[in-house]
Amino acid sequence: MPELTPRTVLITGGNRGIGFAIAQAFIALGHRVAVTARSGAGPEGAMTVRADVTDAAAVDAAYSEVEAALGPIEVVVANAGITRDTLMLRMSEDDFDAVVDTNLGGSFRVVKRALKGMIKARHGRIVFISSISGLYGNPGQVNYSASKAGLIGMARSITRELGSRGITANVVAPGFIETDMTAELPEAQTAEYKRAIPAGRYGTASEVAGVVTWIASDDAAYISGAVIPVDGGLGMGH
């Protein structure tokens, strides 16, 4: 086994759910890990910095704090995200803008801030946490699906802009994962989703985290612009 090179990793929204599990997985592998959080803190062993991804100045300040403590950021995981589900006929401009500004705009801000350092280092791993909804569509999630599909275009354009600089940009698309986000869904809807998932169950945050650490590893250096589903087979072919 080749020896693992410890990297400085930043994960947005690392105080709970999938982001927390991703931080734990990078720490377990021996990387230097920082998380952004609006409240609470990341797992033991992670540096926590305050940042709202809708605020470019806050993102910039968080990066500077992490770089001063842990060195240049070589891996960024754009994980922070929200839902504001409702059918399109009832969806307000505000419901649309808030979700797109957090999920898509927030990812743009955190990745943009990381690029200069990655170009200088000639090494970088960008991982976007999208969703099966971005590929498959989902009633009640026009805003969310559009924001998550947008991440695919973002990753692929970054790949074309910076692929020759040792930088990869990939998308991980979870299906239904047990977190606060899915705990909000009505019981009948949850049962219906579980019937549709070939695996017959929701996934766990650590099952997403394992894929994220791998796509950010040196072993995955020749994979970029890819969309990797982690969905128990729900979206096959999408």
Contacts with ligand NDP: how many residues (CB under 6 A)? 28
Closest separation in Å from C-beta 4 to ligand NDP: 25
105 binds ligand NDP (CB under 6 A): no
Nearest to 37 by CA among 7, 56, 8, 10: 10
113 alpha-carbon distance from chain centroid? 16
Q: Print the binding letters for residues 161-200 with ligand NDP: x by CB under 6 A, - otherwise.
A: -------------x-xx-xxxx------------------
Of 1 and 188, CB closest to ligand NDP: 188
Given 17, 105, 117, 235, the residue binding ligand NDP (CB under 6 A): 17
Run of H or E residues at 33: strand 32-37
The answer to whether 164 and 222 have CB atoms below 8 angstroms apart is no
129 binds ligand NDP (CB under 6 A): yes
The catalytic residues are 144
**Structure token pair of residue 95:** 């419901």
Q: Print the binding letters for residues 22-41 with ligand NDP: x by CB under 6 A, - otherwise.
A: ---------------xxx--
Q: Which of positions 73-92 make contact with ligand NDP (CB under 6 A)? A: 79-82
The answer to whether 17 and 179 have CB atoms below 8 angstroms apart is yes
Closest separation in Å from C-beta 181 to ligand NDP: 4
150 binds ligand NDP (CB under 6 A): no
Which residues lie closer than 8 Å to 33 by C-beta, 6 or more apart? 9, 11, 23, 26, 27, 42, 45, 46, 47
Closest separation in Å from C-beta 10 to ligand NDP: 12
Helical H segments across 49-176, by residue range: 56-70, 93-100, 106-121, 132-136, 142-162
| β-pair type (75-78, 8-12) | parallel
User: Which parts of this chain interact with ligand NDP (CB under 6 A)?
Assistant: 12-13, 15-19, 37-39, 52-54, 79-82, 102, 106, 129, 131, 174, 176-177, 179-182
